[in-house]
């Protein structure tokens, strides 16, 4: 039984009113609870005991549901051509939503979401939820980008870049004293900025999509 099935069974299907009530009790947004119900997300480790108490079940039953939920995820083809895996065994913080234009993200902020992935033993990983078309066809709206936290990148890698106007998730190219951030959609214009005005926060390792 997955977490979504468990929530529906123990909370009258978790209609919107019940979702709002549970979100307030858990200290998260109603949107987060909705995504628990849909099976897109799972609660963080520190949320397990409070959630089990709210549902009136044991932590062991909840952990079994989390394991079943993680097993329902698959990792899509890596942005670097990596392999596809079929079981998730770790949770990553989702630090923001990557839109087609500038967006806000904070590596130090407490994440509102946690993404189950296959454990690869690499430290410093985090995730962004994609909203928009800027990375199509590599990733579509609703997918997740898993990134390695680092301040450098090779030319043509997809990076999380921070500038004064906000952050962008784009393919990165060095061009002398400037940096070029390019969309996967050829119709979208490049963004060119001075190297002094850009900071690399992370590099995309792969994308995740719920099957």
| pLDDT for residue 145 is more than 50 | yes
Per-residue pLDDT reduced to its tens digit, 180-208: 999 998 888 999 999 999 999 999 988 88
Q: What pTM value is reported for the model?
A: 0.59
Share of the chain above pLDDT 70, in %: 79
What is the enclosing helix (H) or strand (E) of 48?
helix 48-55
Q: For residue 98, how many other CB atoms are within 10 A of its CB?
A: 27
Model confidence at 72, in pLDDT bands (50, 70, 90)?
Answer: low
3-state SS, one letter per residue, for 149-168:
ECCCCCCCCEEEEEECCEEE
Model confidence at 60, in pLDDT bands (50, 70, 90)?
Answer: confident
Q: Give me the half-sphere count of Cα atoms (radius 13 Å) on the Cβ side of residue 139.
A: 33
pLDDT at residue 110, rounded to an integer: 64
**To the nearest whole number, what is the mean pLDDT of the chain?**
80
Once rounded to an integer, what is the mean pLDDT over residues 2-24?
76
Once rounded to an integer, what is the mean pLDDT over residues 132-158?
90
pLDDT at residue 20, rounded to an integer: 85
User: Cβ distance 88 to 70 under 8 Å?
Assistant: yes
| pLDDT for residue 52 is more than 70 | yes
Own/partner pairs, 45-49, CB within 8 angstroms, 24+ separation: 45/91
pLDDT at residue 71, rounded to an integer: 56
Backbone phi, then psi, for 79, in 5-degree steps?
-65, -20
pLDDT at residue 112, rounded to an integer: 67
Name the DSSP letter for residue 2: -
pLDDT at residue 81, rounded to an integer: 41
Least confident span in 35-49, 97-111, 125-139: 35-49
Model confidence at 77, in pLDDT bands (50, 70, 90)?
Answer: very low
pLDDT at residue 82, rounded to an integer: 37
Domains and CATH numbers, the chain: 3-71 (1.10.260.40), 75-209 (2.10.109.10)
């Amino acid at each position: 039984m997955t977490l979504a099935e468990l929530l529906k069974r123990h909370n009258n299907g978790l209609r919107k009113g019940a979702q709002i009530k549970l979100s307030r009790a858990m200290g998260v947004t109603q949107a987060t609870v909705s995504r628990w119900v849909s099976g897109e997300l799972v609660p963080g480790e520190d949320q397990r005991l409070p959630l089990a108490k709210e549902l009136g079940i044991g932590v062991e039953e909840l952990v079994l549901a989390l394991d079943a939920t993680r097993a329902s995820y698959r990792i899509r083809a890596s942005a670097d051509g990596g392999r596809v895996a079929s079981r998730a065994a770790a949770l990553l913080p989702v630090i923001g939503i990557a839109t087609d234009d500038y967006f806000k993200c904070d590596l130090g902020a407490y994440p509102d979401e946690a993404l189950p992935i296959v454990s690869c033993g690499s430290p410093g990983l985090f995730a962004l939820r994609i909203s928009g078309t800027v990375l199509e066809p590599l990733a579509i709206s609703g997918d997740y980008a898993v990134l390695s936290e680092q301040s450098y990148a090779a030319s043509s890698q997809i990076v999380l870049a921070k500038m004064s106007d906000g952050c962008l998730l784009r393919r990165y190219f060095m061009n002398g004293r400037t940096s070029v951030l390019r969309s996967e959609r050829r119709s979208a214009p490049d963004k060119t900025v001075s190297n002094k005005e850009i900071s690399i926060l992370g590099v995309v390792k792969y994308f995740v999509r719920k099957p």
